[in-house]
Structure 1
């Protein structure tokens, strides 16, 4: 409100790991701003709500006629939030935008909140590469070189709030980590960097997050989780599939997810005759049949989601398939990425072996941190499976 009164522009950053509530903060802030905008009378003077003072006359007028939007890079998450906003009073007038829509618009925004800002792009991918160049040229002309979608947001709005997690960068087209670090450094210098520390998704807490981060490294950790968190390691994929189906019947929001270690042969074919994408030890599975709002789709309990359809979402249970794109190499005694077994075309173009491994490991970290009540794990590579199952002791199931 001070910035609105002075007319100064502003840029703030909220940082937090998976499950710390970044999306909740974004939506709560947008709802609060819209409620203040729509208020017509002062609150009761005796009301002691945390934000009640901002509903008094003066604040309401400061927000009148301001354009407010939420930018979400991932198509699937954007569609889900759009559907929820349409059903929510106040939020139904907040536009949920792609970064490309922002860059191509003739209008500017007063306030843009950017969720999952680490997934903004630095060059586009596939069919959007040309669109990226066109948007960059339109906004920056001769100065377009080196600009990213972060620059689009800053150029098209007066006030920006970026919600970020640098450890969830999963594709080379995502803005580089050093760009996120610069953004955070700029915000910190201005006293506008805020950190979320409390774990709101995974009930196992920080001990589990440390385990998930280290699992696919050369020095994995024994999981330290409370008995209330259902962490299991499966040596048989069919058994894990059945367990996830049971959890779906009991509590809902239980899904199978996997690294992009199998080609999407069934893409575009929603028939019962569609080819299976994943075949392991007699188990036949298909990838997600839709890439928008997949988790809420009717067929999702029978399918397998990827990082692109679940990043940003909460599940009650996640059954994580660690595919053949990552193995344990006995000769070098180290974790290796197998490019031939990875089918994200953007990641597959990465030439440096260490960079390739980092992108793949980051993707699995995202998958391993979706389950609020429990996570089930199956590892395809036999050497890696035998190595990791030793960590679980009484938590191995077949």
Structure 2
């Protein structure tokens, strides 16, 4: 019974971002440093603090803790320089925003209105001709880098517009999690923002999500950069390659019964539309529907019991944890045995929205491949206890099986 209760707590995404959760010594020191940065630059026109870190390095938890402390000071500490400051936490991810607002409803220092999508913040501040004191941005790699009429963004770069409307911006960023050209970042552009105003940066490296030896991280990193290496030796983290997608799904269901928070995921290589109809991820013998869009549901996709009968996309799962992930690599990822390397085919990738605006990006064919590899990186860095892989391409499947 105790194990079940502990699993239920650990599986709850609210626990993952609980602003009162104990931070590591590194995170505590960084949090203190960031507050000192805010005190130092409180009266500057603009200042930026950039937190870099790969998936699973505790970026969102750190932001949640910082924002809760900041709002506590703003409301309750007249002796502090940050008293009565107007502060916001922004995230361009509807599932993550839902989670933050749920946390706000259970935390005395936080208000739902202080959590917004970037476009909402930009348009509201523009209309009111106002400027925020401190703005935190989670998943800043999802910020738009070009106009997007669909999302009511009329300017050219969301970060630039947020900086204009804020005194201090604190953001977390991972270049390997950019998934669309309208959010396509180059390090040169980010460097320009940092050089234009007082700024500092910090790199988080400690991995909290993937409970594995370093060789697992190296394997995932190499694969998500288009390279293959032998599979790591057997260890507590359960890493397997499957010859059959149904067999992998059956194991995921077994693990879900034991531990919860185990789901099937796939690269965006299968048709999907937001038209209310069901669409499916299929192999020769396997067929399971894509995740259904339920924007009104309060629970994240992975925590809803019915989604064990669905396949999650990179957009559904980005920013969230699983215990075990069964990943289907679709037709856009294949293998050339003569060259002994992965082959990425953007024409087989079904996420057409990801490529919108590619004509304005230098070396767009390479950039398209990078988008797909980034999506693989997101999928492969979700699971805490184990990751299972099935490749649709027969040559890639054969190669991966041989690496075992």
TM-score (normalizing by structure 1)? 0.81
Of 360, 363, 369, which residue of structure 1 is paired with 2:372?
360
For the residues of structure 1 that align with 2:294 and 2:184, how far apart are their CA atoms?
A: 22
For the residues of structure 1 that align with 2:326 and 2:391, how far apart are their CA atoms?
A: 11
**Segment of structure 1 superposing worse, 357-366 or 329-338:** 329-338
- Gap change, CA 1:223 and 1:181, over 3 Å in 2: farther
Once the 2 structures are TM-superposed, how far is the Cα of residue 6 of structure 1 from its aligned partner? Answer: 4.4
For the residues of structure 2 that align with 1:167 and 1:109, how far apart are their CA atoms?
A: 29
- Gap change, CA 1:9 and 1:279, over 3 Å in 2: closer
Q: Report the equivalent of 2:121.
A: 102
For the residues of structure 1 that align with 2:72 and 2:163, how far apart are their CA atoms?
A: 25
Q: Report the equivalent of 2:171.
A: 162
Once the 2 structures are TM-superposed, how far is the Cα of residue 97 of structure 1 from its aligned partner? Answer: 0.9
- Gap change, CA 1:228 and 1:334, over 3 Å in 2: closer
For the residues of structure 2 that align with 1:207 and 1:39, how far apart are their CA atoms?
A: 47
Unpaired runs of 5+ residues, structure 1, are 41-56, 137-146, 394-398
Asked if structure 2 preserves the Cα contact closer than 8 Å seen for 1:111 and 1:160, the reply is yes
Asked if structure 1 preserves the Cα contact closer than 8 Å seen for 2:50 and 2:171, the reply is yes
Asked if structure 1 preserves the Cα contact closer than 8 Å seen for 2:47 and 2:199, the reply is no
Matched, 1:287 2:299: no
- Gap change, CA 1:111 and 1:322, over 3 Å in 2: same
Asked if structure 1 preserves the Cα contact closer than 8 Å seen for 2:53 and 2:174, the reply is yes
Name the SS for the 1:12 alignment partner: strand
Q: Report the equivalent of 2:15.
A: none
Asked if structure 1 preserves the Cα contact closer than 8 Å seen for 2:314 and 2:378, the reply is yes
Asked if structure 1 preserves the Cα contact closer than 8 Å seen for 2:54 and 2:174, the reply is yes
For the residues of structure 2 that align with 1:170 and 1:65, how far apart are their CA atoms?
A: 37
Q: For each residue in 1:279-313, what CA deviation from the matched residue of structure 2 results, as whole angstroms up to 9, or x when unmatched? A: 22332211111264322334222111111111111
Q: Report the equivalent of 1:33.
A: 70
Name the SS for the 2:320 alignment partner: coil
For the residues of structure 1 that align with 2:173 and 2:244, how far apart are their CA atoms?
A: 36
Alignment of 1:1-398 (within 5 A): 1-3=38-40, 6=43, 9-39=46-76, 58-59=79-80, 62-92=81-111, 95-105=114-124, 106=128, 107-125=130-148, 127-128=150-151, 131-133=152-154, 136=155, 147-179=156-188, 181-182=190-191, 185-186=194-195, 190=198, 192-215=200-223, 219-224=227-232, 227-264=235-272, 267-269=274-276, 275-290=278-293, 292=295, 293-330=300-337, 333-348=340-355, 350=358, 352-391=364-403, 393=404
- Gap change, CA 1:92 and 1:132, over 3 Å in 2: closer
Q: For each residue in 1:303-360, what CA deviation from the matched residue of structure 2 results, as whole angstroms up to 9, or x when unmatched? A: 1111111111111111111111111134655422233421111334547432221111
Asked if structure 1 preserves the Cα contact closer than 8 Å seen for 2:54 and 2:176, the reply is yes
Larger Rg belongs to: 1
Asked if structure 1 preserves the Cα contact closer than 8 Å seen for 2:322 and 2:384, the reply is yes
Asked if structure 1 preserves the Cα contact closer than 8 Å seen for 2:133 and 2:168, the reply is yes
- Gap change, CA 1:193 and 1:218, over 3 Å in 2: closer
Asked if structure 2 preserves the Cα contact closer than 8 Å seen for 1:203 and 1:372, the reply is yes
Q: For each residue in 1:220-248, what CA deviation from the matched residue of structure 2 results, as whole angstroms up to 9, or x when unmatched? A: 12233661111111111001111111111
Superposed CA RMSD in Å reads 2.5
Once the 2 structures are TM-superposed, how far is the Cα of residue 115 of structure 1 from its aligned partner? Answer: 0.6
Q: Report the equivalent of 1:52.
A: none
Once the 2 structures are TM-superposed, how far is the Cα of residue 71 of structure 1 from its aligned partner? Answer: 0.7
Once the 2 structures are TM-superposed, how far is the Cα of residue 14 of structure 1 from its aligned partner? Answer: 0.7
Equivalenced residue count is: 354
Asked if structure 2 preserves the Cα contact closer than 8 Å seen for 1:252 and 1:316, the reply is yes
Asked if structure 2 preserves the Cα contact closer than 8 Å seen for 1:85 and 1:94, the reply is no
- Gap change, CA 1:230 and 1:124, over 3 Å in 2: farther
For the residues of structure 1 that align with 2:111 and 2:233, how far apart are their CA atoms?
A: 40
**Segment of structure 1 superposing worse, 103-112 or 1-10:** 1-10
TM-score (normalizing by structure 2)? 0.80
